Amino acid sequence: MARPLNKRQLADAVAHLRARDAAFVPILDYVGPCAFEARTDHFTALADIIAAQQVSKYAAVSIRQKLRDRYGDPIDLAKIARARDEGLRACSLSGAKITSLREIARAVVRGEFDFATLDALDDAAAIERLVALKGIGRWTAEIYLMFVLGRPDIFPIGDVALRKLMRQVYGLAEDAPPPAYLAVAEAWAPYRTVASWYLYAWINRRRAEARRVNAGMPETLV
């Protein structure tokens, strides 16, 4: 059975990144200790990932909140399984996302899919099992493995935001091909999940600090 990242592995991952990639050290120092923690609300987490497909961060946050307001927190899988289009559309979900979310919920209700079975699969098999579900592509599956299953060495190369961050840190060209990103990430293995988490945390903290500065609020007061 594959186990999610634990505190010892997180410490090992940080030491590994510090030793293997000099360009990554300022990010480690800026973000500080790794606060990664795998989620345990499997269906809600997957719904959140689906909500984030091909929309801005702020749109995703809005959709997620609407789903919780209407279907509970954690999201009630059985209610989604029998939800009508109108209710799901009121949460700002596209037609494709409505179909995907409802069909996954129904597959669980019918006993055709069990989130717990993913724990026993290796990364490749777990991804294959997830992409067999309606509306789940490789990016969604990889993000699920990272943030829900807590797999240590996932690198979601299809993530546009992650590639943009890597271009900023490593000076990659705008039209850099996938092998260029893979070559950079090779130094992070076998902890590419943790490196990706740090990049996300890095930009989120920078944005938060910029908002505080723009609002004229001293950092010590927020």
Average of per-residue pLDDT across 18-35: 97
Quote the strand ranges of the chain, DSSP E: none
Q: b/e string for 43-65 if b means 16 or more Cβ within 10 A? A: bbbbbbbbbbbeeeeeebeebbe
Helix axes 160-170, 178-186, angle to 10 degrees: 70
How many CB atoms are closer than 10 A to CB 138?
A: 14
Q: Which fold has domain 42-147?
A: Endonuclease III; domain 1 (1.10.340)
Confidence class of residue 2 from pLDDT cuts 50, 70 and 90? low
pLDDT tens profile 128-142 = 999 999 999 999 999
pLDDT tens profile 178-203 = 999 999 999 999 999 999 999 999 99
Give residues with Cβ within 8 angstroms of 206, minimum separation 6.
Answer: none
Q: Is the pLDDT of residue 175 over 60?
A: yes
Write down the architecture of domain 7-37+155-214 according to CATH. Orthogonal Bundle (1.10)
Tell me what percent of the residues of the chain surpass a pLDDT of 90.
Answer: 89
Domains 7-37+155-214 and 42-147 share a fold: no
Reading the block at residue 112, the tokens are 């055709």
Using CA atoms, how far apart are residues 92 and 38, in angstroms rounded to an integer? 27
Reading the block at residue 2, the tokens are 């594959």
Write out 52-106 in H/E/C secondary structure: CCCCCHHHHHHHHHHHHHHHCCCCCHHHHHCCCHHHHHCCCCCHHHHHHHHHHHH
Confidence class of residue 220 from pLDDT cuts 50, 70 and 90? very low
Average of per-residue pLDDT across 205-218: 76
Question: What residue segments make up the domains of the chain, in order of their start?
Answer: 7-37+155-214, 42-147
Average of per-residue pLDDT across 169-179: 97
